């Protein structure tokens, strides 16, 4: 399944949940504040900018933001919120597409780097970030920690979410570090309709992510458990990692 097949019109239409879920102020505001600080008065580039969940409020906070985005439908949703003159976007793959100019900050949020399904593509993404940054610039990656402890021997699937009208199921291919997330939604209006959405990912261990950074000329500057700076521990389910490019 290609990424442009996943992020289609139907997905884009249902993606935004204003004020709720990953669009809740408690989720968005700390990310915007941290990214604005890391931009240090310069411009930012978002890989896989999507519908502008982070880019729009970051732009409103005074940070010039440019994006790279593969999906036309997701970009169309962004364009309903911000004009090209406000948040310019290059259509293309975040591992290879280039945006004009240089940036203090490149960032990837909400596990998006795992949408690249091979290790070489993920390494290319780091190198693409380095290509866009000024000396000493930063690349920020928000990513889940693979939770394979939930997977008993011989089992290949686990439920990660369950609530009225929704069931989330992950299937694992541990040999190739692949997960396919299955999202089942059910209507309770008497029609008995059900809908399935699937998204494949290649999960990355933090140590492997650090090596990708080294290959692209980065050093790890910090790693926190969330955007507010909570300590990253062995029990953390996700991390915000900041990589610094050499100053010269």
Half-sphere CA count of 172, side-chain side, radius 13 A: 19
Pair 109, 182 in one domain: no
Instruction: Let me know whether 88 and 137 are in one domain.
Output: yes
Q: Are residues 76 and 158 in the same domain?
A: no
Choose among 142, 95, 97, 118: nearest CA to 243: 142
Q: Are residues 234 and 219 both part of a single domain?
A: yes
Residue 18 has pLDDT above 90, yes or no: no
Out of 11-20, 29-38, 99-108, 211-220, least confident range: 11-20
- Answer yes or no: is pLDDT of 104 > 90: yes
57 in the same domain as 67: yes
CA gyration radius, the chain = 18
Q: How far apart are CA 105 and CA 123, in angstroms?
A: 18
**Percent of the chain residues topping a pLDDT of 90:** 72
Q: Which pLDDT does position 22 carry in this prediction?
A: 85
66, 134: one domain = yes
SS3 track for 8-44: CHHHHHHHCCCCCHHHCHHHHHHHHHHHHHHHCCCCE
- Quick one: 67 and 118 in the same domain? yes
Residue-averaged pLDDT of the chain = 92
* Position 121 pLDDT exceeds 60: yes
Residue 106, pLDDT above cutoff 70: yes
Q: Please determine, for residue 192, whether its predicted confidence score (pLDDT) is greater than 80.
A: no
Is 14 in the same domain as 111? yes
Domain housing 182: 148-201
CA distances (Å), origin 153, targets 37, 102, 174, 237: 44, 48, 11, 21
In this structure, the answer to whether residues 142 and 153 fall within a common structural domain is: no
Contact residues for 162 (Cβ-Cβ < 8 A; gap 6+): 168
Residue 209: C-alpha distances to residues 43, 190, 214 (Å): 24, 47, 9
**pLDDT tens across 195-210, in order?**
888 889 999 999 999 9
Task: Assign residue 216 the CATH number of its domain.
Answer: 3.40.50.150
CB 75 within 8 A of CB 69: yes
pLDDT at position 68: 98
pLDDT category of residue 132 using cuts at 50, 70 and 90 = very high
Residue 2 pLDDT greater than 70, yes or no: no
The answer to whether 139 and 245 have CB atoms below 8 angstroms apart is yes
Comparing 14 with 204, the larger pLDDT belongs to 204
How does pLDDT run across 45-65, given as a tens digit for each residue? 999 999 999 999 999 999 999
Residues 139 and 45 in one domain: yes
Same domain, 155 and 67: no
| Same domain as 162, residue 91 | no
Total domain count for the chain?
2
Residue 23 above 80 pLDDT?
Answer: yes
């Amino acid at each position: 399944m290609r990424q442009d097949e996943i992020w289609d019109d139907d997905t884009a239409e249902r993606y935004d949940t204003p004020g709720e879920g990953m669009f809740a102020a408690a989720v968005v505001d700390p990310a915007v504040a941290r990214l604005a600080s890391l931009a240090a008065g310069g411009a930012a580039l978002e890989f896989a900018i999507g519908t502008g969940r982070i880019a729009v409020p970051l732009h409103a906070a005074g940070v010039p933001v440019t994006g790279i985005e593969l999906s036309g439908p997701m970009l169309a949703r962004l364009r309903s919120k911000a004009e090209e003159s406000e948040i310019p976007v290059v259509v293309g793959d975040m591992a290879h597409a280039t945006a004009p100019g240089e940036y203090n900050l490149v960032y990837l949020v909400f596990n998006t780097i795992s949408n690249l399904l091979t290790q070489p593509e993920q390494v290319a993404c780091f190198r693409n970030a380095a290509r866009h940054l000024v000396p000493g610039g930063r690349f920020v990656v928000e990513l889940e920690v693979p939770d394979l402890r939930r997977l008993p021997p011989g089992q290949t699937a686990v439920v990660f979410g369950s609530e009225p009208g929704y069931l989330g199921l992950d299937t694992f291919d541990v040999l190739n570090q692949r997960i396919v997330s299955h999202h089942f939604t059910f209507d309770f209006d008497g029609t008995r309709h059900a809908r399935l959405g699937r998204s494949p990912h290649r999960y990355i261990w933090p140590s492997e992510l650090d090596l990708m950074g080294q290959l692209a000329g980065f050093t790890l500057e910090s790693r926190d458990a969330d955007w507010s700076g909570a300590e990253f521990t062995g029990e953390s389910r996700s991390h915000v990692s900041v990589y610094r490019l050499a100053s010269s």
